[in-house]
Amino acid sequence: MNKLVIVLSLTIAIFILQPLAIVQAAAISDGVKIFNANCSACHVAGNNIIVNSKTLKKEALERYNMYSLDAIKAQVTNGKNAMPAFKSRLNETQIEAVAAFVLNQAAKGW
C-alpha cells in the first residue's frame, strides 16, 4: 500500500511539475534575448561595469538579498541607484523572463 501511494504521488508530481519546467525553459530562452538586448552592455558575463561589487553572480546576489526571482524582477522593473527602471521598456512577461535567465545563470556560475 505504501509503495502504491509513493508511486502515485511521484506520478502526479511529474505531471504537475513537467509543464512548469517547460515554461521556465521557455522563459529562460526568451530571457537570453532580452538580457542581450537590454542588460549585457552593463552586465556582460554577469559582471557590473558601473559598480564592480554588485555583479549578477550568485555570491553577490546573495550578499545583497537579490538571489530570488521576485527580487530580480523588482530590480529590473523599478531600477535602483545607477540601474535604470525597465518597466516602461519591458512588459511583465519580459521582465520575468530576464529575471529567470539571470537567476539560472547565477546558479550555473555564469
Tens of pLDDT, residue by residue over 18-60, are: 544 544 777 789 999 999 999 999 999 999 999 999 999 999 9
What the block records as the C-alpha cell of 22 is 517547460
Q: Report the C-alpha gap between 69 and 98 in whole angstroms.
A: 10
CATH of the domain at 53: 1.10.760.10
The total domain count for the chain is: 1
Q: What mean pLDDT, rounded, does the chain reach?
A: 88
Q: Is residue 50 one of the residues assigned to a domain?
A: yes
Instruction: Print the domain residue range for 51.
Output: 25-108
Model-level pTM? Answer: 0.78
Q: Is residue 3 one of the residues assigned to a domain?
A: no
H or E stretch at 17: helix 2-38
pLDDT of residue 22: 47
For cell 538579498, name the residue: 65
How confident is the model over 67-96, as a mean pLDDT?
Answer: 97
